[in-house]
Structure 1
Amino acid sequence: MFEFGRELRRIFRNHGRIDSDPSLYELMNLQLLITQGRQLDIEGGRVSTKNRFAPYLEAAQVWREYGRRTGDPVALRRAASAAENAGKEAKTAAEAAIAALEQAQTCILSSDLYETHDLLNSAEELLAGGRAAIQDDEAIRARFNRVEAQLAARLAVKQGVGEDLELALLAMSHIDRAVERADKRVQQTHAAADKIEAAQARYERADLLTLVGLDRCDPALMAAVIKDFEALQARFDPAYEPVTWSRVNLRLGLAMVWKGEIEGNPGIISEGISLLSAEEEPVDFEHSPLDWVAHKQALAMGLQALAELTLNQQIYEKAMQVYNLALKRPLQKGLSLRGQLINNRAACLAKHAELKGDLQSLDQAEADFKAELRACKPEHDPVGWAILQTNLARLYVARGDITGFMMERAEAAYALEAALEIFDEQHLKSLSKGAQAQLDRVREQA
């Protein structure tokens, strides 16, 4: 699938360790990443190694890539540890800055995967500490700009793009600067790794524009996002950059789905679904589990949006099949992606059951969620527990709509109040906003 034969001579050397080139990580499966990471850890810790900084830094990059694809917290800890060791072995201010940059990227990734927003503060401190050392190095400065843009975008999302437009505009200025410098770097080097970094800066910008477009229900802004993603996707070959191409394709498909939702246009939603349901997938579950699951979730969301617009029961059922397929795969507990999947599936099930007037499906879903609640301890995974409560609330509301019983809405309000308390404690503004809106609707109907 990835045409490894063409790459063998440039990939393998040094007794199986792969030549240092971050662009090749895209072609490496999970086992190759593990092998590479372990050998780099050993090389960095070996007394005879003259320059320990290089293997430690590369180990941090490899383990971060493994963590990005799997959500494995052990890999994320190994990435952070390797970056810290690289910082200790740094011989120049520039090397120390690069190590701090790698630590910051691991903090941001961990925050993305597990919604541990406190790590964003750590990333901010690391970037501030390394920034002074890179004024005269254009290559490092371009990388710093990209990561600073990543951080600014996440801080804007954490605050709420609809609530604080100034923060979103500040993040966009950071991203625009990062895109400009990254593109300039690609023109100078033509290196595959720089091309991928430039792409990451561009889809950071498109991601933020997408959130603003959704918040404001602006189809023109969504059309601009689609145009950006189409241009970006044309720069990559799925045979050589499968992971980046897949991530851009996912965003392009979702942007079409959301534009169709805003306009009430099933044709545009169908275009997005077509992109997301292509038979030839450049990335399978074994190569990148989280990318595969995210792709399936996006497809299910597209089908769900089309079903809600057309009130087609068969499309609802197909969306549920895709949600179930994604949830059958093992995912780390606490992953935000897992919570999103469970949350979206519950919403789809409730809408479908309401359309059919199917109490039996709701009863089975309630039993499933309560079984998960018994296994999920709020003191160990408060956010996961709260998400389950919001899902139960959706089912209670759907049952109340079918039966007309007020008691169901009272149960829903109780579950939402418990969830809202957790979201507020954890400073999860987007989840708090959603739960509060749901609670307000329940109270209005009571």
Structure 2
Amino acid sequence: MFEFGRELRRIFRNQGRVDTDSSLYELLNLKLLITQGRNLDIEGGRVSTKDRFTPYLEAAEIWREYARRTGDPVALRRAATAAESAGKEARTANEAARAVLEQAQTCILGVDLFETRELLTSAEDLLANGRVAVQDDEGLRARFNRVEARLAARLAIRQGISGDLELALLAMSHIDRAIERADHQVRQTGAAGDKIAAAQARFERGDLLMLVGQDRCDSSLMTAVIKDFEALLVRLDPAYEPVTHARVTLRLALAHIWKGEIEGKPDIISEGIALLSNDENAIDFEHSPLDWAEHKQALAMGLQALAELTLNEEIYEKAMQVYDLALKRPLQKGLLLRAQLANNRATCLAKHAELRGDLGALEAAETAFKVELRGVKAQDDPVGWAILQTNLARLYVARGDITGFMLERAEAAYALEAALEIFAEHGLKSLSTSAQEHLDRVREQA
């Protein structure tokens, strides 16, 4: 372990301004991030500040880090504003390119957090315009490659992994090139920030490989991800890179869980659950709420997968407890993660009830969903309303599977059609896919 006071002295200088080494941001808690972001905003806007570009760019990075950990849309807007201000204050082509990179990364984060698909187009345009200025700067070119790889991965996912894999293969070529250059940069500098950037490039490759592996039921891709992340994990120190270490552990665990699902082997799923059950691998909610929630969701998904394979009711109940724990914590409305947690919990509840043939459990859940639905207005929170409708319809489908007929077929179809319309309007592809699957089940039981 390290002496935290010594680290803070490294972090802060010049009346609380943070060192430009962004790897140190991982050591800052949310309160320190807010304080630092505000200080940098003030410094950038001060008339007496000679170099406004630097504080604005650092402010954009700080606010983006805060938004990534919390899902706060205000912080995301502040990051976008600061990056735009940095672009206006840029004095060289390289500075302008760095500002463009920050704007593009903020757009991509908006897609990750809220599935705001139009931001992908904005990121594409920004990178296309900014790429010209980086020909003579190897480090900046490597950073562009990493962000372009992230964008390519999301474009491939947006089009759907099923069917034509051309976009996925194109994205993988971008990612492999980004990893190669990132590793070269680490060998050249040995800087902690470059090491974290190289790890983030591997996140993109691992996430894409796991999605393709799930779609194709190809456990060999999961094996490749496991090897890559195991090698990466030993190079990270959770004391100095707590957030990156937690994110690598999460992906390593998910690769085990999905490999076990594909191969039908409970012991492999249990390896993933063990990784997530180790408190040393977890991150505190107060330090990064979204990473904590993602960790709990992955643990619940692992338990649910194990329960489905072993038909163990106790494990189902443990999975439900973990989902409930995650959903009790406050999360921003409109977050994709919040929707995923609600959907996954509803699916787990329905499958558990189907296993037990427990109509009483379904009725209790239906009552709870209807009570919650009465407190949500479609005009105020359309996505939240649509998610509840989808979850309610999922229970109707489960009841139909148990009894052989569905009394609420028309009601479920109407709710799902309304939810589909809202999801499509907001560009929420993953939620649209889930709702469509439930609607197809309703129609099959007609």
What is the Cα-based RMSD across aligned positions, in Å? 1.6
Whole-Å separation in 2 of the counterparts to 1:81 and 1:427: 24
Identify which range, 418-427 or 349-358, moves more after superposition.
Answer: 418-427
- Does the CA-based 8 Å contact 2:114-2:336 persist in structure 1? yes
Question: How far apart in 2 are the matches of 1:422 and 1:11?
Answer: 45
Residue 7 of structure 1, CA deviation: 1.4
Alignment of 1:10-159 (within 5 A): 10-159=10-159
Q: 1:2: how far off?
A: 7.1
Q: Does 1:418 align with 2:422?
A: no
Q: Provide the residue aligned with 2:163 in structure 1.
A: 163
**TM-score, structure 1 as length reference:** 0.96
CA distance in 2, matches of 1:370, 1:122: 39
Deviation at 1:426, TM superposition (A): 3.6
Conservation of the 8 A alpha-carbon contact between 1:161 and 1:211: yes
* C-alpha spacing 1:12/1:426, structure 2 compared with 1 (3 Å): closer
Counterparts of 1:349 and 1:180 in 2: how far apart (Å)? Answer: 44
Letter in 2 for 1:88: K
Deviation at 1:93, TM superposition (A): 1.1
CA distance in 1, matches of 2:20, 2:427: 39
Runs of 4+ in 1 over 4 A off after TM superposition: none
**Separation in structure 2 between the aligned mates of residue 198 and residue 299 of structure 1, nearest angstrom:** 26
Aligned AA for 1:330? Answer: P
Aligned identity (percent) is 78
* Separation in structure 2 between the aligned mates of residue 386 and residue 239 of structure 1, nearest angstrom: 41
Residues 158, 428 of structure 1: 8 Å contact kept: no
CA drift of 1:308 comes to: 0.7
Which residue pairs with 2:191 in the alignment? 191
- Structure 1 residue 356 displacement after superposition: 2.1
Report the alpha carbon displacement of residue 380 of structure 1 after superposing the two structures with TM: 4.0
Alpha-carbon deviation of 1:433?
2.9
Alignment of 1:345-424 (within 5 A): 345-424=345-424
| DSSP 3-state at the match of 1:407 | coil
Q: Distance between the aligned counterparts of 1:150 and 1:2, measured in 2? A: 33
Between the aligned partners of 2:156 and 2:140, the Cα distance in structure 1 is 24
Bigger CA drift: 391-400 or 65-74? 391-400
Task: Supply the distance in 2 between the matched residues of 1:26 and 1:378 (Cα, whole angstroms).
Answer: 38
Q: Secondary structure at the match of 2:407?
A: helix
Give the drift of 1:422: 2.7
Letter in 2 for 1:220: S
Distance in 2, matches of 1:424 and 1:50, equals 47
* Change in 2 beyond 3 A, CA 1:378/1:164: farther
* Change over 3 Å in CA distance of 1:233–1:281 after alignment to 2: closer
Equivalenced residue count is 446
Question: Which structure 2 residue ranges, 5 or more long, are not aligned?
Answer: none
Q: Residues 158 and 429 of structure 1 are in contact (CA less than 8 Å); yes or no, is this contact kept in structure 2?
A: yes
Local SS of the residue matching 1:360? helix
Shift in CA distance, 395/2, structure 1 to aligned 2, threshold 3 Å: farther
- 1:434 and 1:199 map into 2 onto residues whose CA distance is 31
Contact 1:182 1:198 in 2 (8 A): yes
Counterpart contact for 1:350–1:362, Cα < 8 Å: yes
The answer (yes or no) to whether the contact 1:214–1:258 under 8 Å persists in 2 is: yes
Shift of 1:203: 1.1
3-state SS of 2:17 partner: coil
